[in-house]
Amino acid sequence: MSSVLFTWHNNGHSISEFESGLKLALSSDASSLLILACQDNQFTAPQINPLLSACPLPICGGIYPQLIYKNQLMEQGCIIIGFEQEVDISLIRQASKLITDEQLVEAIEQTSLMNAQVSSNGSLLMFYDSLVNNTEDFLDCLFECLDYQTNIIGGGAGNLEFKQTPCLFTNDGLIDDAIQIVALKSKITTAATHGWQILKGPFLVSEVDKQTVMSLDYQPAFSLYKDEIESISSLRFDESNFFEIAKNYPLGIQGINNQLIVRDPVLTKDGYLQCVGSIPVNSMVYLLKGSSDSLIAAAQDAAIKATTNLDASADKIDFSATMVFDCISRALYLGDKFNLELDSISKHTSEQTLFGVVCFGEITNSESGAIKLLNKSTVMGSW
pLDDT in tens, 240-266: 999 999 999 999 998 777 789 999 998
pLDDT attached to residue 162: 87
Span between the terminal Cα atoms of the chain, in Å:
9
71-87: b or e for each residue (b if 16 or more CB lie within 10 Å)?
beebebbbbbbbbbeeb
138-183 pLDDT tens trace: 999 999 998 878 999 999 999 999 899 999 999 999 999 999 999 9
CB 159 within 8 A of CB 65: yes
Reference 182, options 331, 342, 367, 36; nearest CA is 36
Instruction: Identify the pLDDT of residue 152.
Output: 97
Question: What pLDDT does 113 receive?
Answer: 84
Q: Low-confidence residues of the chain, pLDDT below 50?
A: 313
Peptide bond into 46 cis (omega under 30): no
Residues 6+ apart with CB under 8 A from 209: none
Instruction: Look at residue 313 in the predicted model and tell me its pLDDT.
Output: 47
What whole-number distance in Å separates Cα of residue 280 and Cα of residue 233?
28
pLDDT for position 179: 99
Q: Which of 139, 147, 140 is nearest to 120 (CA)?
A: 147
CB burial readout 356-369, b (16+ within 10 A) else e: bbbbbbbbbbbeee
What pLDDT is recorded for position 314? 53
Sequence-separated (6 or more) residues with CB below 8 Å from residue 94? 177, 178
pTM of the model: 0.94
* Residue 227 φ/ψ region, left for φ over 0, alpha for ψ in the -120 to 50 degree band, beta for the rest: alpha
* Backbone φ and ψ of 241, nearest 5°: -115, 20
d(CA 163, CA 56): 31
Residues 362 and 377: their CA atoms lie apart, in Å, by: 7
Q: Report the b/e string of 129-152 with b at 16+ CB within 10 A.
A: bbbbebbbbbbbbbbebbeeebbb
Domain boundary assignment for the chain: 4-193+295-382, 197-289
pLDDT of residue 120: 62
Give the residue from 252, 264, 222 showing the smallest Cα distance to 362.
264
CA 134 to CA 179: how far, in whole Å?
Answer: 11
Cβ within 8 Å of residue 169, ≥6 positions away: 35, 37, 52, 59, 60, 61, 62, 63
Determine the pLDDT at residue 98: 98
CA contacts within 13 A on the Cβ side of 362: 31
